[in-house]
Structure 1
């Protein structure tokens, strides 16, 4: 096995409980396991999160929902203890029957989506399909627009016996910005939308908004606002959290490091092994295009991972620019030369006793996704989602 990911179940459960406590009160915290749990492995993470208390899990599509259901079954999570599974990124006509058959809860915003679901339920001889209606309050991504579009959709739902509005939701575009004017506007639009739902007497059980940064950024005030909005329609409030479950969170612009963010612990440890060792002499060049020229005698270790596996090419190092690093025997081993498709070279000159087969930490304690993101000019989300090991397991 050339590389593998170990997921700390203790840290994952601890992060979930930290976020739940930060949300406070009776507000539920939906645990997002989409994109294969942000690269951590949904089959590993979903059962841990349910046992930590998650009432809802969020997935991208029907295929992910089916895989998570299977993972919970294999893990021995009793049916009565299984959470709701929210399909967060819409659906097509061909998905509708599987959504209904599996009992998944889809996010919808188009009349056509609800027609497909109602037709599928009728074909299968099943009752009304519970859906969560997304309101577009400013993302211009998915959701029904506040105003005539929403009013027409709500009027149609009132006359359609095959659909039950179980939830109403929105998503904030700038939740990581302290005092964001855009968030204030989005809140106001969402409140207007909730008024339309209330006037139509659609009795939603859930009202939810936000992401990890919503909890991290003025969490108490955000959640208090959400609870107040939910009370208007007699619903329960819920916030959605993804990347924070796995130990990371975007910095809040305009504020210092929050208490929640300081307490989060990265969950993933990505490991590989040393598959080659060589002595390099001063003047030797390393890797493609010879961008690194060895300045003195060095000992180099070869790792069987590269950009095809998730080690970003931007972590490459030349003599003029330092790059990333791996942890070898608990010490930093700087990358030298270009990261290749499936191979990376690191300098282990100052590390005693390095041998073939030694374990190497590519991501984990001492080298975080935020470290990789900073060097690659991106965010931790993209780093962890891009990790493609041969195997994942809980530890």
Structure 2
């Protein structure tokens, strides 16, 4: 294993170790690319590559063959450009006039999702005398970002805006493709076919992670995100290979009598004489408070050796208590696996009442980060 470039916490100073399996990440990208053999497969690496680190994951994806990347913000695009100088990079979340020079200087492509953004970018291109590339985002039913169908049709007609910049991609975003058979997916697919017809010769992209599994949504460019990182992306379908592993050493083991409570609020009561192990991970590290256990509800579990051990009480800012009564002779320094060895990010998410996206993007910066694969 090698330490990632972004890691700043030495292993002996960290409460937990986070391992990013770059081999699994690359295999996941290839598996998604194989779903649409006639399409190019991009990678969505926004939110610091879903918590796994842009500087770590982008070179691994590029080495696997990925040439196009999507981020949310220009600041992420700057970081990406530094490690992938030849990549095509799109910025999804809005175009701000004050950043226009940076797009041109760094060869970054904005995703234009409103009439105002189109006009601002077209005027900039006219000012610099260059027909710069950009993506045109059309809303087909998400009602979040994007031109409406009438605006998209108007832009497709010859005119000052259409001639000022190069529409390098026309795209939309699926809202419900992770729920097989959802009627909105069919409506969006039909609407996007109308949009694509307006832009003959321009590459088209509709498929997010779930859309990669649907032949009708693949078009010219796949845009997988969450599936790359080993989390659930279609209901009822197994995720791809796990990419993250989180483990922490036991700090202390203590005996608790039956009837005593553990942690803030006395939320969990020992049902029998119990042994409680403490690890130095908490919600400040992105392990969500809602994953805790109380007398009223079960929470997440961790693994010590071959034994699944439930959390005992609330997750606090920096510490978690675990009921290790059934795990044998647990001692300080023994490793506890919070994610890995059969515990997926979605298992933690389910216990916390959320989704795997939130678990991944919350992964803490106090961990010692390292790579494998």
Same fold (TM over 0.5): yes
- Superposed CA deviations along residues 91-130 of structure 1, whole A, max 9, x for unmatched, are 211222211111111110234324443555566x573210
**Secondary structure of the equivalent of 1:275?**
strand
1:187-226 alignment, distance < 5 Å? 187-198=189-200, 203-204=201-202, 206-216=203-213, 219-223=214-218, 226=219
**Secondary structure of the equivalent of 2:284?**
coil
- Superposed CA deviations along residues 307-358 of structure 1, whole A, max 9, x for unmatched, are 2222222222123432211222343221001111221101122223422233
CA distance in 2, matches of 1:354, 1:71: 43
Structure 2 residue aligned with 1:85: 89
Instruction: Please state how far the C-alpha of 1:160 moved relative to its aligned partner.
Output: 5.6
1:342–1:250 CA distance, 2 compared to 1 (3 A): same
**Secondary structure of the equivalent of 1:338?**
coil
Q: Does 1:251 align with 2:231?
A: no
Structure 1 residue aligned with 2:135: 132
1:258-297 alignment, distance < 5 Å? 258=237, 261=238, 264-297=240-273
Decide whether the 8 Å contact of 1:61 with 1:91 is kept in 2.
Answer: no
Decide whether the 8 Å contact of 1:274 with 1:303 is kept in 2.
Answer: yes
1:1-395 alignment, distance < 5 Å? 1-24=14-37, 26-72=38-84, 79=85, 82-118=86-122, 120=124, 125=128, 127-147=130-150, 149-155=151-157, 158=160, 161-198=163-200, 203-204=201-202, 206-216=203-213, 219-223=214-218, 226=219, 237-252=220-235, 257-258=236-237, 261=238, 264-390=240-366, 391-395=368-372
Decide whether the 8 Å contact of 2:264 with 2:313 is kept in 1.
Answer: yes
Name structure 2 gaps, 5 residues minimum. Answer: 1-13
1:157–1:356 CA distance, 2 compared to 1 (3 A): farther
**Secondary structure of the equivalent of 2:283?**
coil
1:156–1:364 CA distance, 2 compared to 1 (3 A): farther
TM-score with structure 1 setting the length: 0.84
Structure 1 residue aligned with 2:5: none
Instruction: Please state how far the C-alpha of 1:158 moved relative to its aligned partner.
Output: 4.9
CA distance in 2, matches of 1:144, 1:43: 32
Instruction: Please state how far the C-alpha of 1:287 moved relative to its aligned partner.
Output: 0.5
TM-score with structure 2 setting the length: 0.89
- Superposed CA deviations along residues 123-147 of structure 1, whole A, max 9, x for unmatched, are 6x57321001011111111111112
Decide whether the 8 Å contact of 2:226 with 2:232 is kept in 1.
Answer: yes
CA distance in 1, matches of 2:117, 2:104: 12
| Backbone CA RMSD of aligned residues | 2.1
1:330–1:117 CA distance, 2 compared to 1 (3 A): farther
CA distance in 2, matches of 1:68, 1:330: 39
Name structure 1 gaps, 5 residues minimum. Answer: 73-78, 227-236
CA distance in 1, matches of 2:339, 2:359: 10
1:160–1:36 CA distance, 2 compared to 1 (3 A): same
CA distance in 2, matches of 1:184, 1:37: 29
Decide whether the 8 Å contact of 2:91 with 2:108 is kept in 1.
Answer: yes
1:193–1:94 CA distance, 2 compared to 1 (3 A): same
